[in-house]
Structure 1
Amino acid sequence: MINVGIIEDNYFQLNSYKEYLEDLPDCRVVFACKSMEEFAALSPQDMEAQVVLLDVMLPGMSGIEGIYQLREAFPEAKIIMLTAHDEKQYVVRCVKEGAHGYLVKTGRLADIYQGILDAATYGCALSPRAACQLISHINQDPLQPVRYKLTEREYELLSLLKEGYSYKVMADRLHLSVFTINHHLKKIYQKLNVSSKSELVSRICMNNL
């Protein structure tokens, strides 16, 4: 049995979700609220939600702002955002805030049920459109195609920097001046969208460059 919580400001959709899920043999609705404020008035310790369906656009505190509050109340619960908005900025922000799923409302209740099963079983649930938006965001990361953005000399500098060499040692090894090393590094900073040596080294290591 999966304990499900619902926060949806549209009265008809809220009741539709609640009635549909309560008719399923493996789901139990433990709360159904129209806002984060209404949820805050409840006692989370008595509900034990395992999956929470959360509308992105809520009156008062938005669903995005409410993610943290829900994770505080139910640390083990999977939070699935429900919305008609499939724009990349919404998908990315919700995931960064801690949501485990993002479902674009299709009008098919079976899609929501499948999302609940996916979240409970695999830990996440994404509609196809949301998955495409996340992949697009990841592929736009300036570090993904880094090998193709940098010149051979710039990539060589990255390799030396990763080994911990100082600018002076790098200059000696490459038979260049320290001024030229700094010039190349400034270009690398711009191409990789970083602002300091420590940030650059951190990203090099994290991305296996």
Structure 2
Amino acid sequence: MIRVLLADDEAMIRAGVRAILAADPGVEVVAEAGDGREAVALALAHRPDVALLDVRMPRLDGLAAAAELRRAAPDVGVVMLTTFGEDEYIARALADGASGFLLKSGDPHELLAGVRAVADGAAFLSPKVAHRVITELSGGRLEHAARARRRAAALTPREREVLALLGRGLSNAEIAARLHIVEGTVKAYVSAILTRLDVRNRVQAAIIAYEADLVDER
């Protein structure tokens, strides 16, 4: 059972997200918060697998809450709930090590897929969010793409395969099944990829995969 903390200051949004999560018998909402400070307290009390945090909340915004959780409860996977027009917040959350980015207006299936992926230790970016991050935040888009391709080129062919699948939000188990190798080998590849790319987590590696045009979105 995947245990989820849901934090949003709008009761209707919480109700909608809760209803979507309830459609999956393997997901349970264990706590709800209306502000960031309450979200941190409840996360420390309940230790959920995943914390779904709205970016804009009173008392403590979602980004500050995510940063506190990263320090105090690094085992809790953080997924940010965002809307278009909040690009600078997405950039900050990425830098702070959030594991997922979802649009409130996105497909309900993305919400469930994102929660499952992050609970499994993977990263998940809504395709629209990933596209927005790359095209709107990069500024010098061609320069960023060229730099990403150079960094990816330093990887072995197998590592690039793993990076491409990581960029699609696949878990270690899913990557292992896709490449017909054992999960332990995938973990070793992922660790090597993070080190060689000099990035902090799977989300940052996924962004490089997108920028380097390694990700097949079909």
TM-score (norm 1): 0.60
Counterpart for residue 55 of structure 2: 56
Counterpart for residue 35 of structure 2: 35
The one-letter code matched in structure 2 to 1:74 is A
Superposition map of 1:1-209 within 5 A:
1-42=1-42, 44-45=44-45, 47-85=46-84, 87-106=86-105, 108-121=107-120, 123-136=122-135, 137=138, 140-141=143-144, 144=147
What per-residue deviation string (whole Å, max 9, x for no partner) do you get for residues 133-174 of structure 1? 3434275449829x9xxxxxxxxxxxxxxxxxxxxxxxxxxx
The alignment partner of 2:101 has SS state of strand
Q: Separation in 1 of the partners of 2:40 and 2:86?
A: 28
Deviation at 1:43, TM superposition (A): 6.8
Quick one: percent identity of the two aligned structures? 29
- Larger Rg computed on CA atoms: 1
The alignment partner of 2:120 has SS state of helix
What per-residue deviation string (whole Å, max 9, x for no partner) do you get for residues 41-68 of structure 1? 54724x1211111101112211111111
The one-letter code matched in structure 1 to 2:25 is P
The alignment partner of 1:114 has SS state of helix
Q: Separation in 2 of the partners of 1:14 and 1:141?
A: 36
Return 5+ residue gaps in structure 1 as ranges: 148-205
Deviation at 1:23, TM superposition (A): 4.2
What per-residue deviation string (whole Å, max 9, x for no partner) do you get for residues 4-36 of structure 1? 111111101112222332342100112110101
Q: Separation in 2 of the partners of 1:80 and 1:39?
A: 13
The alignment partner of 1:4 has SS state of strand
What per-residue deviation string (whole Å, max 9, x for no partner) do you get for residues 107-157 of structure 1? 543321111122223521101122123434275449829x9xxxxxxxxxx
Return 5+ residue gaps in structure 2 as ranges: 151-197, 199-218
The one-letter code matched in structure 1 to 2:92 is R
CA contact (8 A) 1:18 1:32 kept: no
The alignment partner of 1:28 has SS state of strand
Aligned residues: 148
Q: Separation in 2 of the partners of 1:72 and 1:59?
A: 21
Query: Cα distance 1:17–1:141, how it changes in 2: closer, same or farther (>3 A)?
Result: same
